[in-house]
Amino acid sequence: MEDRADVVVVGGGISGCAIAYNLAKRGKKVVLLEKDEIAFEASGRTVAAVGLLGKQEGEFLFAEHSLRLYDQLSDDLSYDVEFIKEGRLLPAEAEADRPIFQEMVAAAKDAGVELELLGREQVRRRFPYIEGGFYDMAYSPNEGHVNPVKVVDGFARAAREYGVQIYTGCIATDIGVTGGRVTSVDTNKGEIKTDVVVNAAGVWAYRLADRVGVHIPIQIVRLSQGETEPAPRFIEPFVRSGIYCMRQTASGNIRVSNGYRDQAVYHDLSFHDMRDIAVWLPRLIKQRKYVSFRLDMELLRYDLRAFLASVRGRSNHHIAPRNKEPRRALHKVRGQLAAASKLIPRLKRLSIQNHWAGYIDLTPDLLPVLGPVGRPEGFFLSMGFSGHGFALGPIVGQLLAEMIIDGKPSLPLDMFSADRFGKMDTPMPTRLM
């Protein structure tokens, strides 16, 4: 294993791989550490809609830049990432959907997003497979969806071509700091000397940040997702309704998951909940009808071992669970497919072929944490994507590389700074994700 690098990136999801690729392309010697396999966690389990609707003020700018990078990504990486740019349909099918629908449409209009409001006749003419009823329908033509595993794999392959050493099965257990500066990363395979560490460790990034005294209030929720058998392609746009979202992949499978009312969200209770309870309890209470609470004994045992290890001064032994399969909820996926079949009756003929679950890292204001921390110097964060990380991945890769190499990114990252949680009473968004 390399014992020295200009930059060590922790995490082999979209953000880590995109950052490593951009750094190496500009001549940096980069090592990327992944505890399991590339795209093992959220980035391999996502719906991978890449778009605009549902973003917050300020975030649209980054999502638009990212979409432009997606436009050319297959060419840039010399690898087909299956970007299907056929827009996004946003139906409101129940009274309860309408306030959230209106909020999302208003935010997108304020941000100048191209958007059409469609009546029934227009929908039937343009999307003839939509036969069910709805109250409102918005169409955002410039959005799309991708094959997430191919995107991450594409970044990882291209990064390797620029010389990035990627070590899988390699967990970062601690960060060495001397005189307020990052000096090294400890792993299960040995130490790597470096002046710069990028923490892109997904839902476990907060634990690595804790090791160097950087506290980020993260909450973890679990979503399930499923995929039907393949069918001849007939649904072009990504569709996100109140209680489901869906897209047809390049190979014809229909992927379904959560809608914008987020009713199929689980929170696995753990000792972690005692951390930042004052921040999260009001949010979880406000969103209680959308979240189901469960006990995950595997996670509880893991957290207990982590606590006992920390009492013995060895907390780095439990920095993140390896090969963890989040619990799946097939009945939720079935419910989502059944709900989608009301709008698109042809879906009734398809059966679920595969299903899985994944975790999402929420921040209190649902915006990511990007950029350097005050101390230690040389420690950068790319985390807390709050369910939007795939859409933002390519621009995050570019901006973090600019920040590290030039000291100034081409778009300002101030609103994503790590110290915003300490400075203000973080506003509470109306939605959970």
Binding site for ligand FAD (CB under 6 A): 10-16, 33-36, 40-43, 45-49, 171-172, 200-204, 208, 223, 225, 257, 319-320, 358, 360, 385, 387-391
Q: How far is the CB of 425 from ligand FAD (least distance, A)?
A: 25
Q: Copy the structure tokens of residue 179.
A: 């005189």
Q: In angstroms, what is the minimal distance from the CB of 188 to ligand FAD?
A: 9
Q: Hey, what are 285's tokens?
A: 């209470």
Is the distance from CB of 132 to CB of 343 less than 8 angstroms? yes
Spatial distance between the Cα atoms of 37 and 46, rounded to a whole number of angstroms: 15
| Distance of closest approach, residue 121 Cβ to ligand FAD, in angstroms | 29
CA distance 357 to 303: 20
Q: Which is nearer to ligand FAD, 200 or 306 (CB)?
A: 200
Q: Cα–Cα distance between 149 and 42 in angstroms, integer?
A: 10
Nearer to ligand FAD, 36 or 153 (CB): 36
Q: How far is the CB of 16 from ligand FAD (least distance, A)?
A: 5
CB of residue 123 to ligand FAD, shortest distance in Å = 22
HSE-up of residue 43 (Cα within 13 Å, Cβ side):
33
Q: Which is nearer to ligand FAD, 331 or 425 (CB)?
A: 331
Shorter beta-carbon distance to ligand FAD: residue 265 or 347:
265
Q: Give the span between the Cα atoms of 222 and 384, in whole angstroms.
A: 14
| CB contact burial 322-346 (16+ within 10 A = b; e otherwise) | eebebebbeebbebbbebbbbbbee
CA distance 162 to 170: 21
Q: Which is nearer to ligand FAD, 131 or 417 (CB)?
A: 417
The distance of Cα 355 from the centroid of its chain, to the nearest Å, equals 18
Q: State in angstroms the smallest separation of the CB of 334 from ligand FAD.
A: 16
CB of 10 or CB of 432, closer to ligand FAD? 10
